[in-house]
Every structure is written in structure tokens, then in C-alpha cells.
Amino acid sequence: MESKRLFGIYGASGCGRGVMPVAAHMVGPSIAVDDELVFVDDKPLAGTVNGRAILTYEQFLATPAPHRAVCIAIADPRVRHTLADRCRSDGVGLFSVKASNTVVMDEVRVGEGHILSPFVTLTSNIVIGRCFHANIYSYVEHDCNIGDFVTFAPAAKCNGNVVIEDHVYVGAGAIIKQGRPGRPLVIGAGAVIGMGAIVTKSVPPGAVVVGNPARPIKGSAIC
């Protein structure tokens, strides 16, 4: 009997449990009816969750399958990057998860391994890198360039003419002000935008900003 193709949602905690139902309804060109869809977790607390098997990464690798791939549902951008590198070195592919009610308009390019949750909107002329997470009700407006391993928590809002570099985390309900054509507002690599923050100025790499208007916490800086 031929083995089934194997697809894993990497992470069985909150984020992964929100992504799994979306993946399960994506039966079609990417995931077929007879494929196997499981959770993958490095430290599983049980054998199943919400009716789906949980495999350790080692068990996932050991399960016979003609093809295996994961969608990494880990909110921390750097952890997600580390896991993506490990999967690549082990020959495990990445697949993307996109809700049926996601709105994607004109000239939008999104890299492999992305998650577009329910009620996400990407408007026009947007370029996004690998393993992007857009949680529920978040949006990206026109003429934005977003790097690899960027996370938008629920209802994060990025307006037009913004550059977001790699490994940025945008907290729930945060709003990034629109930049200008030729003078984009820039969120530097590894920056963290706090929950509900209103970002009106560019943020340097590694900064952590909170509040309205967003200001750096101790040990950080904003330009």
C-alpha cells in the first residue's frame, strides 16, 4: 500500500491550533483528500489535540511518506527561522496556509511557508518574504515591502509605503502609519511593535516600541 503524503502544522499550541482548521479546509491543489495532516511539536503534551495526531519532529521524519512538508505556526520570528532551516537541511518542504476569505488584490507576491488567517487583507503592489504570519483581521496596504519571518499578531495594521525588515513582530492591534512614495516608513530588522502601539516614525533594528505614539522602552531607541 502506497504511503500518504504527510503535511504537518509545526506547533500544537495556540497559534498552531488556529492554523490547523484553515489547513484542513484547503483540500485541493496543495493538500489532497487522502493526504495525512498532523501536528508537529518538539514537546507534545499529549498524543492528539482537537482530533489530530501530534508527532514529535523525529516521529514526523520517521513516518514513511513520499513527500513531507510543514507550515511553521510559531509566532516568534527567530524560532520560526531556526525551524525552517532545520527542516530544509532534513529535506522537509514548506507549505503555505491561506484562509478562503483572505482578500489578496493586485500585484501581491508572498514567499513560501506563509500563513494568511481568516479576514486578512493584502491590497496592491506588495512584496512579502518567506514564512510570513498574518493573523486574523490583520492587513497590509499598498506599496509595502516586508522581509522574511515577519509576524503580524491579530488585527495588526500596516498602511501604505512601509518597509518592514526581517524578523519583525507586530503586536495585536498595532497600527503602522503610512509612509510616502520614495520615503517609506521603515521598521528595522528584529524590531518589536507592542500591542496597540501607534507607530508614526521609523523604528531602528532591534528596537521595542510601545504606546501612542510609539516610543522605545528602556534600552531601545527610535528615530
The string of pLDDT tens digits covering residues 117-148 is: 999 999 999 999 999 999 999 999 999 999 99
pLDDT of 222 over the 60 cut? no
* Per-residue cell: 159: 498602511
Cut 0.85: pTM above it: yes
- Asked if pLDDT for residue 219 goes beyond 90, the answer is no
Q: Which phi and psi angles does 86 have, rounded to 5°?
A: -65, -45
Distances (CA, A) of 86 to 94, 132, 133: 11, 17, 19
Catalytic residue ranges: 142
Confidence at 26, pLDDT banded by 50, 70, 90: confident
Confidence bin at 29 (pLDDT 50/70/90) = low
For the domain spanning 98-212, the CATH number is: 2.160.10.10
Predicted local confidence at residue 33, as pLDDT: 78
The domain 6-95 is classified under which CATH number: 3.40.920.10, 3.40.50.10680, 3.40.50.20, 1.10.10.10? 3.40.50.20
